[in-house]
Structure 1
Amino acid sequence: MARRGRIGEFELIARYFAPLARTFKGAGNLQSDNAFLAADPRHDLVVKTDTVVAGVHFLADESPQRVAAKALRVCLSDLAAGGAMPFVYQLSLALPARWTEKWLAGFAKGLAADQRRYAIVLCGGDTVVTPGPLTVTITAFGRVARGKGIGRGGARAGDELWVSGTVGDGALGLLAAKGRLPELTPRQRAFLDDRYRLPQPRTALGHHLVGIATAMADVSDGLLADAGHIADASRLAVTVERDDVPLSAAGRAAVTADPRLWANVLGGGDDYELVLAVPPRKRSALLGAARAAGIAVTRIGRFTDGSGVTLTAAGRAAAAPRKGYVHF
């Protein structure tokens, strides 16, 4: 809940920053995480900036290689949600006063590994020392066919809601990393822990969804929240059927042992899966794209006229005690 006298993140953006971007069409009124810039006659650049902070977005004692991977991958996830292929990125690194060269070498090693994995390269940035916690900001650039980038605002009533992979592993993984899922086996906890620490951006799938998805986002704030962002930007309502939400074996074991963890699954975020709107006539094309990418997709709901997010279970309205992560 926002503190008394303060506004939430999205109200803050809409009130103070969206007016500053109003004259630039590619900003999309700041309703999507990405900006779209004309690059050449055949391509647009999809641009995303993200910041991760020690103790907020990753554990304070995380290895430098994994800090680097998470910082880069959360940006790559947004590029995938824009239908783009990775191109280049810039890095702004705010190091705490007691930084060491050993830590920095490990961080650079982590970036190098992911540069090879995701075919992206560093093109600039900045480094400073801070009296606060370690802070990493990355601006990633992707390429998409001219005018074909996917935002949040294109869904239409009747479109189906789909999601890639499995949902809830990130939020449950944070609990596992903190030793708070004792009912799971060590192997299950290790799986969830890894899903939290090392996101898997769906770059192999996102660019195949151009011409198929009418709107798309990545699941960073939480499934209900990010489906809601698409609905809000598209001026629609969306219904999510809880029983259709895909869970990993470890995630299923967790909610079976403690059904209260559904709140974390649906609202915890950090999954970095793709949530998308697809017209029913494009269903076969979506399934073909998913097979080609080797990534499962699941239909979990539908967009309709109206507003807001409705959660159902077995077809009946269900309470959603936690809709998503909020920064303020």
Structure 2
Amino acid sequence: MIKKMLCVFAIFWSTTSFSSVDCGGNDGKCALQLTPAGALIEGATGKVLVQGIGNQGMLADVSLLKFNGQYVLVRESSTNDKSTLIVPLKMLNNSWVYDSAYEFSVSLINSSDDVGMRWSGVKAKIANHIIDSGVWDRAYAETGKIAAKNERLSKWPSPWIDISISEANHKRESERCFVPLASKDSLLPVDSIACGASGSELADGNYNFSGVVGARAYIDMNLNVKNNHINGRYFYIKERKDISIDGHVDGNGRVQIKEYGGPDGGLTGVFNGSVGKVGITGTWTSAMKARNLPFILVPQGFPD
């Protein structure tokens, strides 16, 4: 039954996104790095910030990812509930600190062979704390105080998980995370989670999005914006074939992105949309205008 289902699910590991950066190596791409010995260090100087943060035994893997310039510590457990702790980091007064922790886990009671894995998500808000070796114990203690409600569990093929939040004053809030599960059997695609909030415009910079075209055609998209011009690439997660894109954004946040995925590099579709609080939403139209599908793009990473 459920144990058999989880063993079968283990072969479906998370898809690898080109968008997030794994900061586990010294390649110059990250201001923070996680060494093979489990130390968190400054990339430029090699200064050790925390020893042993990545050494969590045989039942957990620890990684450091960078989403849109944001650094995130991830602890993925191999226990039956696949508990995954995520701690976003930020620089404050020349120190790396954290003020929140997320936990995603499988509800064993509500999962089955028929419906697949039902994921829950909770978020604990924490007073600013300088990163130290107690981060995982603190994150587990705080997220453990929050009970996830059954009505907020993931329900494939919907890509949304409603996050339960508890603050210090016990005020309950909610937050939505876009989690592109490739199938009902998929484990958590950590490197494609999109909980980030967007603004009303796309300023110059590099942006990574997770999204969906139509009902369940999940995509990863990378956009480079400069002087209102957009270029980049995206792919459908099932096909994993890069498609070149080019477009523009105006001063009111209206976006047009053309894709060139034909065998000769020809136009294959156009995204027309606008930037809002959730991300970019609008309509994708095929080159011959025979198909029109809604789309949404959500910034990868987590709220600041």
TM range (shorter): under 0.3
Larger helix proportion, structure 1 or 2?
A: 1
Larger strand proportion, structure 1 or 2?
A: 2
TM-score by length of 2: 0.28
TM-score by length of 1: 0.26
Q: Which has the higher contact order (CA 8 A, sep 6+)?
A: 1
